[in-house]
Amino acid sequence: MTKQFWEGRKVFVTGATGLLGGWLTAELLARGADVVALVRDRQLHCMFHRDGLDQRVTTVQGTIEDGDAMRRILAEYEIQSVFHLAAQTLVGVAKKDPVGTLRANVAGTWTLLEAARQVGGAQLILASSDKAYGAAPELPYRETHPLRGEYPYDVSKSCADLIGRMYALTYGVPVAITRCGNLFGGGDLNFSRTIPGVIRATLAGERFEIRSDGHFVRDFLYVEDAVDAYLQLAERLAGTPSLCGEAFNFSLGQPQTVLQIVDRVLGLMARTDLEPRILNQASSEIREQYLCADLAVERLGWRPRIGLDEGLRRTIDWYAQHLGGAAGR
């Protein structure tokens, strides 16, 4: 990756207050980009506000479903690159509110892409997910596998992914798609997720509760490696038109059961005495999901730099330093 590419480049980030959005915005600023960030709700304790990133970017309050606002932002700020990260990302919330999830994840995606088609000039990186693949007869997922989500969140990502491909192949909108597993790192305040949840519980001296039977298998990728993936794909898309409409898996390549990842965290925190409680209450979720990232290695030259334990150490350190009143119990 080259710092020169991003120097002065006009970049629009949706979902800037999320885990990936905060880290990506910080790196874009470090590389000299001129960032416009879309913020739906002001979350004072997220990385975006807590680290003062909001003071260093142009912040626009609004929603991704507002087509007039999307057209205005793309045109007024002469946006060159878009990172579309805004989404309703919680599986449990999606099950309770499928319409709201589809509105945010599907309608929001087509609204932004239609604005990009009408205004022109912007290249887009669209955040899909390993969940877009749904249940597959064989693993790991490869980019050639069909997208066949079944549950609300999974379907929303399958649809958004395909809509991105449609705009690329039908209208020539320069879109490339990322499919990552579970991202983790400091700054994730969604404590229903396994890694931030177990770290918070352990710091409080409490046993973590695993919703499933502990044997669901997932892919994990440290957030700084994900940032590298997004930036590298965006740079390549700018210089390689043949990537338009392509999707890439990004993965550490070390699938773990939920129980394994919890045990790793407990070991790194020297609190193996806090044995987790197994609730066995999970439903509407796929038991095994993990990705093959060979295509990203071959075509983009991307590789993860940070191993699982090192990423967990960095994450634990972040929460130990930052977990306070608003983020604590």
Residue 127 phi, psi dihedral angles, 5° rounding: -85, 105
Alpha-carbon gap, residue 240 to 245, rounded angstroms: 11
Catalytic residue among 153, 230, 290, 319: 153
In the chain, the N- to C-terminal Cα span, in Å, equals 40
Query: What count of Cα atoms within 13 Å lies in the side-chain half-sphere of residue 162?
Result: 14
Could you count the other beta carbons within 10 Å of the beta carbon of residue 299? 15
Alpha-carbon gap, residue 119 to 117, rounded angstroms: 6
Could you count the other beta carbons within 10 Å of the beta carbon of residue 288? 14
Q: Is the peptide bond before 140 cis (omega within 30 degrees of 0)?
A: yes
The residues, any chain, with a CB within 8 Å of residue 140's CB and separated by 6 or more, are: 251, 255, 290, 291, 292
The residues, any chain, with a CB within 8 Å of residue 9's CB and separated by 6 or more, are: 32, 33, 34, 80, 81
Which residue shows structure tokens 């129980």? 259
Could you count the other beta carbons within 10 Å of the beta carbon of residue 200? 18
Active-site residue flag, 171: no
Alpha-carbon gap, residue 282 to 218, rounded angstroms: 14
Helices 223-239 & 19-30 angle (0-180, nearest 10): 60
User: What Rg, from alpha-carbon coordinates, does the chain have?
Assistant: 19
Q: For the purposes of burial, counting CB atoms within 10 Å of the CB of 74, is it exposed (0-12), middle (13-18) or buried (19 or more)?
A: buried
- Residue 273, token pair as written in the block: 């005495």
User: For residue 178, which of 43, 84, 67 has the smallest C-alpha distance?
Assistant: 84
Query: Which active-site residues does the annotation give?
Result: 153
